[in-house]
A and B are shown apart, each in its own frame.
Chain A
Amino acid sequence: MKKLLSGNEALALGAYHAGVTFAAAYPGTPSTEIMEAIARFKDIYAEWSTNEKVAVEVAMGACYAGARALVSMKQVGLNVAADPFLAVATTGVNAGLVLISADDPGIHSSQGEQDNRHYAELAKVPILEPMDSQTAYDLMACAFEISEQFDTPVMLRTTTRISHSKSIAEFKETRSLPDRKIAFEPNMQKYVMLPVNARIRHPLMEERLLKLAVFGETFSFNKIEMGERQLGIIATGISYQYAREVFPKASFLKLGMTYPLPEKLVREFASKVNRILVVEELDPFIEEHIKAMGIKVDGKQYIPRAGELNSDIMESAGRKMGLIKATAAQEKPPVAIEPAKRPPLLCPGCPHTGFFYVLAGMGQRLKLPGAKEKTVKESNLIITGDIGCYTLGVYPPLNAMDTNGCMGSSIGTAIGMEKAGLSAKIVAVIGDSTFLHSGITPLVDAVYNLSKITVVILDNSTTAMTGHQEHPGTGVSVQGEIVGKVVLEDVVKGVGVKNVAVVHSFNIKELRKTIKGALDSRELSVVIVRGACVVQKPRHGETQAIDTEKCNQCGICLLVGCPAIQTQGKQPIIDIGMCTGCTICQQICPKQAIGPVFRIKTEAQN
C-alpha cells in the first residue's frame, strides 16, 4: 500500500509493523506525533511518561521482560534521559529497544541546537538515519532486528525536516509479531550493574561496536550510487536530498547507518572518486570519523555547522568549492521592504495572559505604546521562566521573563539567585506538565534548603505547546483511557510547602491579591494559577467590544498583548472574530469602556 506519510507517521507505522508492543514518550517537537500515531493502535501498550528519563526506564524494563519497545523524544529529551540510556546501553537488551532522537537543526522549537549522534557514540550504540518517509518506515524494522542481533539499544535519529515532511511511502498491511514470550530471565551479570559486572559488560560493548561495523559493510541502506567520478558525496538524512538535488551527476555514498561507519565501504568509495564532500547537518560527525581513517574529505569548511541545511546552502557551498558557476539567474532583486515580524504569541483568551499582565505590572515592566524607555535599574522582581507556551510571556509588551534554560530549571535557578544574595523578590514560573516533568525535585530542594522564593504553577491541564497532550495531572492516558490523576496541590503540600494558594486565571483582582500575598509572605510559597487552555475550551463568554465614546485611547488594554486587540490609528478595537470573551481587557480598562459587544452596540445607538 502507498500513502503520503509524514516521517513521524512512517516511523510509528514501521515500529508497529515491526512488532512493537510497548511505546513510551514525553511530548516534544518534532517527536510528538510519533507517539500520537502509535497510540492509535490499541493492541500495544502506549504511555506518555512523566519525563524522558522515565520513558527510557519503562522501555528498558519492557524490553528486559521480552516486549519490543519504542521510546521517542526530542533532542533535549535525551539530555534528561541520558542516565538510563547509557545504563541500558551497558546491560544490553532482551527484546529489541529502539530510541528515536528527534533533533531540531534550525531550532524551530527548542532551547538549543545539539547533535545527538554524540550520545550514541558515548553509549556505544548504533545510529540509523532516515532520508525520507520510506526509509523511516524501512529502517524501523531494521532497527529492531539490529537491536536483538547485537544485544544493544539502537538510536534512530530523525530531524525536524524528516519528521515533519510528507513523502510517498510503500508499506506492508500486516504486522509481524516476533516469536518471543513475555518473560524475564534473571541474569545478574547482565542486568545488575555493580562495578564487578559493569567491568565485564564494557569489553562486550567494544566488541559489539566492531561487529556492528562489519555488519554495516553489507547493510543494504549503506549504498554506493556511482555517477561521475569528479565528485563523490557522502551523505545521510535530509542532507542527502539537498545534495542529490544540487549535484545530480555526482557519485554518492548514502549512509543509512552512520555509526559505527563501514570502513571498507568508505575506502572503496574513496578509491572510486577524485574528491569527497561529506554533507551532514550540525556537527562533522561522519566527517571526523572518516578523517580518523586517514581519508581526505571536505566537509564543514563548506557546509555550515549551525542551522538547518537546504538546497540554497548546498548550492552556495558548491560555488565556494568551485563546482558550480555563479549565473545571472541566481542574482535576485532585493525585496524593497523589511516585513514586520510575526513571532508566536499567547492566543486570544490564553489563561496565562492575565497572570503575566499582573506580574509584569508588579515588576514595572509594562510600557505604553510610544512611551520612552525607562532607565535601567535593578529590578525589584526577578522572574525565572521555564519551557512551554508561557515562555512567550517574554515578548513585548509583557516582557515578563528573565531566564529560561531547560525543563524545570525555573525553580532551581530561582533558589540559586536567592541564595547568591539577590535582594529582589524572585518568582519561578512553570507550567503543569513541566512541573510534573522535572519541577518536583527542585521544589523539594526549596523546602529542604529553606528557600523563600515564590513558585507559580500555570495549570492549564494540558501540555499545550506541543499540541495538547495528556499528562499525569490530567488523569487521561495517551490512548484515551481514564487513569490515575496526580493532584498538583497534593504534591506541593506533600513535599512540605506550607504556603499554597490556588487562583482562577481569568480573575485579575484575585490574581493580584494572591500573587502579592505570596511575594510579600517572605516564605516559600506556591501559587497554582488554574484555567483551561483556550484552544481546548475556545469560548469563555460574551465577545467584548470597546466603546469608543468612553475610551480615551490610554493604551492600557494593548499591554495585555492580546492578538484580538488591534489598533486603527490610535484607537484600540477588538477583532470580534478573535475575541473569546475572557474579559481580561474589560477588567483592567480604567474607563470601563470595554464590555459585551451587544451592550456596547446598544449604547452607541443610544
Chain B
Amino acid sequence: MNSNTKIDLLLTGVGGQGNILASDIIGEVAMAAGFDVKKTDTLGMAQRGGSVVSNVRIAEKVYSPLIKEGEVDFMLAFEKLEGVRWASHLQPGGVAIINNYAVPPLSVNLSVEKYPADAEVMQVLQQRSSRIYLVEGTLRATELGNAKTLNIFMLGCVSVFLPFKLDAWQEAIRQHLPEKLWKLNMTAFETGRKEIENVHV
C-alpha cells in the first residue's frame, strides 16, 4: 500500500440499477487491501426511478465521505444522462466509464425537457477528460440473460484500472450475492474486463 494512494470513485445511475451494491463491493475490496474507506449514497426520496449517486473514497486515511467537485478519479455512469449530470465532478484526466443506455425522465416523455444527443454527452465529458469509455453494459448484461448483472459488469470495467487483486473482487462479489448468482456474475465481471480493452472513445 502506497501512502500517497488516493482513489475517489463516483457511481451514478437511476434507482434500481444496482449502483449502491456495486459501491459496497468496491468498499469491501479496498478495505480488504488494507485501505481506509468511506462511502456514501445519496438517494433522494424515490424507491425507484430517481437519480442515485454513490461516493467511494479510498486512501490511507479518509475524512469526508463526499468527494470534492472536480476530484473524482473514476466515474461509473450506469445511465448516460446521469453521467452528464455529474460530469463536472470528474477530475481533469479522470476516467469515465459510461454505460451506453438511456432512461428518459418523465419530463422528456412529456416534451418539457430534452434528452441530450450522444454527441452532446461525449462533448460534455470530453471537456473534462480524454479518458472516456463508452461501454455496452446493458446490452452485454441482457445478452448474459440478466440485465441486473450490469452493476457487476461495470465493476469488471473499472477493476482494470484499480490496484486490487482479482480474487479480492471475486470474494467480495460472492459475499454480496446469493450463491445461485455467483457464476453468472463472475461471467459479467469478466465480460466487463474484456469490454474495456476495446472501447476507449
Contacts and interface: CB of A to CB of B under 8 A. Distances in A.
A563 B49 contact: yes
A341 B37 contact: no
A311 B38 contact: no
A332 B64 contact: no
Highest count of chain A CB atoms <10 Å: which of B47, B48, B82, B113: B47
Interface string B27-51: 1100100001111111111111111
B104 interface: yes
Contact of B69 (A312, A336, A337): A312
A164 B40 contact: yes
A291 B198 CA distance: 61
Interface string A537-577: 00000000000000000000010010101110000000001
B32 to A, nearest CB: 10
Contacts of B40: 161, 164-166
Given A108-B44, A339-B84, A161 B65 contact: yes
Nearest to B23: A166
Nearest to A109: B45
Interface string B47-91: 111110000000000111110111000000000011011011000
B123 interface: yes
Contacts of B104: 340, 566-567
B118 interface: no
A405 interface: no
Given A109-B45, A342-B51, A561-B106, A335 B64 contact: no
A364 to B, nearest CB: 18
Contacts of A300: none
A141 interface: no
A169 to B, nearest CB: 11
Interface in A295-354: 310-312, 315, 329-330, 332-333, 335-337, 339-345, 347
A337 B37 contact: no
Interface stretch (A68-76, A121-129, A240-248, A487-495): A240-248
Contacts of A333: 127-128
B147 interface: yes
A332 B44 contact: no
Contacts of B85: 339, 342
B112 to A, nearest CB: 7
B88 A345 contact: no
A40 B51 CA distance: 30
Contact of A166 (B38, B84, B116): B38
Contacts of A312: 68-69
Contact of A332 (B46, B51, B88, B115): B88
A161 B24 CA distance: 16
Nearest to A331: B70
A566 B28 CA distance: 38
A455 B116 CA distance: 43
Interface string A464-482: 1101000000000000000
A535 B44 contact: no
B108 interface: yes
Nearest to A533: B47
Given A166-B40, A340-B114, A465 B87 contact: no
A567 B50 contact: no
Contact of B109 (A168, A336, A566): A566
A577 B17 CA distance: 12
A168 B50 contact: no
Given A167-B37, A332-B70, A563-B106, A344 B50 contact: yes
Given A168-B31, A332-B69, A347-B49, A370 B111 contact: yes
Contacts of A369: 109-112
A332 B14 CA distance: 26
Interface in A424-474: 464-465, 467
Contacts of A395: 106
Given A342-B51, A389-B47, A467-B47, A335 B31 contact: no
A345 B46 contact: yes
Interface in A158-172: 161, 164-168
Highest count of chain B CB atoms <10 Å: which of A340, A343, A369: A340
A517 interface: no
Contacts of B28: 4
A164 B66 CA distance: 12
Given A109-B44, A343-B50, A310 B64 contact: yes
Interface in A1-29: 2, 4, 29
A245 B44 contact: no
B134 to A, nearest CB: 17
A341 B113 contact: yes
B177 interface: no
A339 B69 contact: no
Contacts of B147: 577
Nearest to A563: B49
Nearest to A370: B111
Highest count of chain B CB atoms <10 Å: which of A245, A342, A369: A342
B70 to A, nearest CB: 5
A4 to B, nearest CB: 5
Given A342-B50, A535-B47, A567-B109, A335 B87 contact: yes
A347 B105 contact: no
Contacts of A392: 45
A396 interface: yes
Highest count of chain A CB atoms <10 Å: which of B44, B49, B50, B115: B49
B124 interface: yes
Nearest to A108: B44
B43 A108 contact: yes
B171 interface: no
A108 B114 CA distance: 25
Contacts of B109: 369, 558, 565-567
A369 B68 CA distance: 39
Contacts of B127: 333, 335-336
21 contacts: A4-B28, A161-B66, A164-B40, A166-B38, A167-B62, A167-B65, A241-B63, A310-B64, A312-B69, A315-B68, A335-B84, A335-B87, A337-B84, A337-B124, A340-B107, A342-B14, A342-B105, A344-B45, A369-B112, A563-B48, A567-B109
Interface of B: 14-15, 24, 27-28, 31, 36-51, 62-66, 68-70, 81-82, 84-85, 87-88, 104-116, 120, 123-124, 127-128, 147
